[in-house]
Amino acid sequence: MFCRRCGTRNAEGAVHCTLCGEGLQPGVAAVDPSMRVAYAVAAPPAALPVYGGFWRRAAALILDSCVLFFPLATLRVILGLDMMGEWKPDSTAWWISSWLEVAIGWLYGALMIAGPGRGTLGLQVMDLHVARLHGERVTFARATWRWAAQFLTLMTLGVGYLMQLFTPRRQTLHDLASGTVVVRTRGEGAPTAPPVMSSVR
């Protein structure tokens, strides 16, 4: 989980932040500043989180599109439609295909993000996973809301995706709407937390 005060990544279930001493659990007060050195010796500070970059996330999106294309194209062909998804609102088969495609896309995104891998296949291949703002695991309900919020991003004609270039946590519009972040799984290249300079008195 991530500290709400300084953003440092801490172990799941940690009581206090290893860098600033902030309480991480409900009702837990921050550690006295004069005790930070002693606390830091007992539990060295973890690396700061590394948020998923624009190109890494774009590659994950392309991979997920490829993963979904083949089963959806097969579904369209079985229903007698063009494999690329032609526009036929006057066709019953087109409506059935459209609703099934939405359902498959939703289940793929929500179940994978809420599952043990914490990300779709594309995200996992690119060493990324989705988490809450402080590192908590995303529930199925929140993953569903995040998937639905992607339509808000699409309505901005791509501007919602470009927002990650300017937000501190590299969040897109649907990340901001669902209260989630995309972070590197192994945190490669993450900067280490600065040493604590306080002393015990």
Q: Quick: pLDDT tens for 82-128.
A: 888 778 888 888 999 999 999 999 999 999 999 999 999 999 999 99
Average pLDDT taken over every residue of the chain: 82
Short-list 61, 32, 67, 87, CA closest to 161:
61
User: Which of the two residues, 199 and 104, has the higher pLDDT score?
Assistant: 104
Name every residue whose Cβ is closer than 8 Å to that of residue 25 and which is 6 or more positions away in sequence. 15
Alpha-helical runs (H) found in the chain: 36-42, 54-78, 92-114, 121-125, 140-155, 159-162, 173-178
Q: CA–CA separation, 199 vs 192, rounded Å?
A: 20
Structure tokens at 77: 């062909």
Is the pLDDT assigned to residue 148 strictly greater than 70?
Answer: yes
Region 142-162 average pLDDT: 91
Closest alpha carbon to 71 in 39, 37, 105, 44: 105
Residue 32: band (very low, low, confident or very high) from pLDDT cuts 50, 70, 90? low
Q: What is the pTM of this model?
A: 0.67
Model confidence at 158, pLDDT cuts 50, 70, 90, reads: confident
CA dist list (Å): 163 to 82, 99, 155:
34, 29, 14
